[in-house]
A = this chain, B = another copy of it.
Amino acid sequence: LATLTARALPGLPEVRPGDDLAELIAAALGGRALTGEHLLVIAHTVVSKAEGALVELSTVIPGARARELAAEQDRDPRQVQVVLDESRQLLRAERGVLIARTRHGFVCANAGVDASNASVADTVVLLPRDADASARALRRRLFELGAVSGERLPGVLITDTFGRAWRHGQVDVAIGLAGLAPLEDWRGRRDAAGLELQATWLAVADAAAGAADLVRAKDSGEPVVVIEGLGRLIGDGDGPGAAALIRPLEEDLFP
């Protein structure tokens, strides 16, 4: 297999609602064109900002449930209301942490509602409404802008930072995808000794999200990372997106 290389893309300005993010990325790339060997990994915050997926807390009127939860968990009731608005189901509320299944189906803290990274105090950033659609649109738009050379489009991966069960710390995972396969399937294949492989349905998009995060400091203003070497996982079509990574609660061993 090829070498994998990940590099943060410097030079992206502060992103604002209404910005054409693909244009800002194309400008930051300078003359360098992307190919089907490139995967563009984008922290969702800038996608959300460009799409206006922000909420000013001063406009939020918390309902009874939000006020109750906020009191219990020592949280801002307006923030809790936004979390509830973004949630399909609240799974846990403990020690100030709300774990929810989002409208999209992702399970994460605060339904992805982020009070940091908003650039403005008292504003929270939501997940993009449909991050797979956002990834597909960015992929198309980069091509339109002439940032792609050759026949094959680059992959686009939109990430968020999630906690995990049973392990400390957070890792970046895929919440939106275009072109990159979410999973690489080795099931049924055999190892060198002819024995069937067990660990074989690999969440390659999540691994790529984590790899990208290793090259950008969280406070660096470098939300975009370019990965080279995953061309085998990047197709002409947009593929099933990060939605294919969601395990329905009813199939999960840990509901």
Q: Which residues of A contact B (CB under 8 A)?
A: 1-8, 14, 92, 94-95, 97, 99, 101, 106-107, 114-121, 161, 164-173, 182-183, 186, 189-193, 195-204, 206-208, 210-211, 213-222, 229-230, 244-247, 249, 252-254
Cβ contact within 8 Å between A206 and B92: no
Q: For A207, give its contact among B95, B202, B213 (CB under 8 Å).
A: B213
- What chain B residues lie within 8 Å of A219 (beta carbons)? 186, 189-192, 197
Cβ contact within 8 Å between B166 and A247: yes
- What chain B residues lie within 8 Å of A193 (beta carbons)? 118-120
Cβ contact within 8 Å between A254 and B218: no
Known: A7-B3, A192-B119, A202-B170. A214 touches B207 (CB 8 A): yes
CA distance A107 to B219 in the complex (A): 32
Output the residue of A201, A206, A208, A244 with the most chain B CB within 10 A: A206
Chain B min CB distance to A249 (Å): 8
Cβ contact within 8 Å between B166 and A246: yes
Chain B min CB distance to A239 (Å): 14
